[in-house]
Amino acid sequence: MKIPNLKLKSQLALFNAFSKALIITLLVFLIPWLVSRISIQDTDKLLIQKLDQVIELVDSLGIETYIDMDAEFQAFGSYNILKEEYISIEPIRTDTTINIIQYSERIIEDELVDYRVLSYSIEENDNNYLIEIGKSISVILRFEHNLKQFAFIFLIFIITLTFIFDLSFIQYLLRPFERIVSKLKYTKHPTSFNYQPVNTNTSDFIYLDETIHSLMRKIEAAFNDEREYISNVSHELLTPVSIIQSKLDNILYESNLSEADMMKIFESKKTLRRLTNLVRTLLMMSRIENEEYILTEDVNVNKVLQNVVEEIEDKAIAKELEIKMELKANNFIFKGNDNLLFTLFYNFVNNAIRYTDKGHVEIVSKQKNNQFSIQINDTGAGIKKEKIPQIFSRFKNSNETKDSYGLGLALSKKICDYHKIIVEVKSEVNKGSSFILLFP
């Protein structure tokens, strides 16, 4: 059986309720037994006390006071009108000592009554007598019943009281812990952590809070270092490129260059552009790894797709390719980063156009069983089956004929992972490829 995950507070409360329930069941069985034991003991004690009094009276006043020796029927009996108690003295013949307490039935005034009876034999004037003292069972039962009722009420009262007390104590005790947990829960990014210490007297929680704070500070510092590092790398790499580019621009505009020289400079500019894009893409990937992009923008995915197509359709027109669009679920809003998603779709559509020489590129978005997905299909070169696992690795190109630097798809994969979008690839050589993006 799978035990569901519960909060510590709920687990403690559950355990508490369970243990209390166990105690109640135990006592429900135990109390009647205990109460009847107590009431019997109590009754028996009372009977013995009364016996002692009777014996004392007999000793001091003599047996004759109670039994008329001349009477034909030698016996003494006394009972109250409700027949709750009786005392009898009668002669017996046997010599055996009798000293027992037992339940027994007696007929008093033609009525059968259950009694708890103490029978005791004494010897007086060479005769043996049996003294019996009885207490009606109905009286005992009434007492027992009252006792039971009281015990149950008391039990329930105590259990409820302790349960409420325990719960509020657990709640009070764990409040700092819950604060620590909620602090972590509401920290979307290491730089937005709330360093306000949690107010508590529990040393364990103080230690936990302090440890989390120091860890968070370390993470934040590492994050900031990384961000600064990326920013510096970016500056260090792109500034020289910028210098060269400006110099090339000036050469191009200043002098009267021959067409061949102009061509050379233009080629150099193209190479610089390639370098710039490479650096930018690598930096973008590093920034994604460092989680610098916020993922809380409400992005209308279909709109982004339309923008991408608007931006890219020139390329398709230049290659005489048709771009087919079939966008469904137009109100699908995704929490993510607008710019990154644009880059993602742009890369996929751009790739589809680049590797397709004839036919069309198709963009389909749909929502099925609560699963929003985008499919980008082309009728292009396709990818060999054994190459598919490698296409998302950096600097590996599935298509040997076209020179590309294999970062586009690696970046796309990173953006997908960052947004928890799953990518599936289906491809057949010379028939085309499909990239399917499954949104979370």
Which residues lie near another protein (CB under 8 A)? 231, 234-235, 237-239, 241-247, 249-250, 252-254, 259, 262-263, 266, 269-270, 272-274, 276-277, 280-281, 283-284, 293, 311, 314-315, 317-318, 339, 343, 346-347, 354, 404-405, 407-408, 411
Dist. CA 181–CA 172, nearest whole Å: 15
Dist. CA 293–CA 411, nearest whole Å: 14
Nearest approach, Cβ of residue 347 and another protein (Å): 7
The smaller minimum CB distance to another protein, of residues 44 and 291, is found at 291
* Residue 262 φ/ψ region, left for φ over 0, alpha for ψ in the -120 to 50 degree band, beta for the rest: alpha
Nearest approach, Cβ of residue 295 and another protein (Å): 13
The smaller minimum CB distance to another protein, of residues 96 and 401, is found at 401
The smaller minimum CB distance to another protein, of residues 160 and 271, is found at 271
Nearest approach, Cβ of residue 390 and another protein (Å): 18
The smaller minimum CB distance to another protein, of residues 89 and 415, is found at 415
Nearest approach, Cβ of residue 238 and another protein (Å): 4
Nearest 5°: phi and psi at 114?
-85, 130
Nearest approach, Cβ of residue 417 and another protein (Å): 17
The smaller minimum CB distance to another protein, of residues 351 and 379, is found at 351
Task: Please give the structure tokens belonging to residue 408.
Answer: 């586009």
Dist. CA 155–CA 150, nearest whole Å: 8
Nearest approach, Cβ of residue 258 and another protein (Å): 12
| 3-class secondary-structure state, position 146 | helix
Dist. CA 54–CA 56, nearest whole Å: 5
436 alpha-carbon distance from chain centroid: 33
CB atoms within 10 A of CB 105: 10
Dist. CA 374–CA 216, nearest whole Å: 37
The smaller minimum CB distance to another protein, of residues 343 and 398, is found at 343
The smaller minimum CB distance to another protein, of residues 354 and 426, is found at 354
Nearest approach, Cβ of residue 228 and another protein (Å): 10
Question: CA angle, corner 421, sides to 331 and 371, nearest 5?
Answer: 45
Dist. CA 137–CA 39, nearest whole Å: 11
Taking the C-alpha atoms of 81, 86, 90 and 93 in order, what is their torsion angle to the nearest 10 degrees? 140
Nearest 5°: phi and psi at 255?
-95, 160
Q: Are 95 and 128 in contact (CB under 8 A)?
A: yes
Nearest approach, Cβ of residue 268 and another protein (Å): 11
The smaller minimum CB distance to another protein, of residues 147 and 363, is found at 363
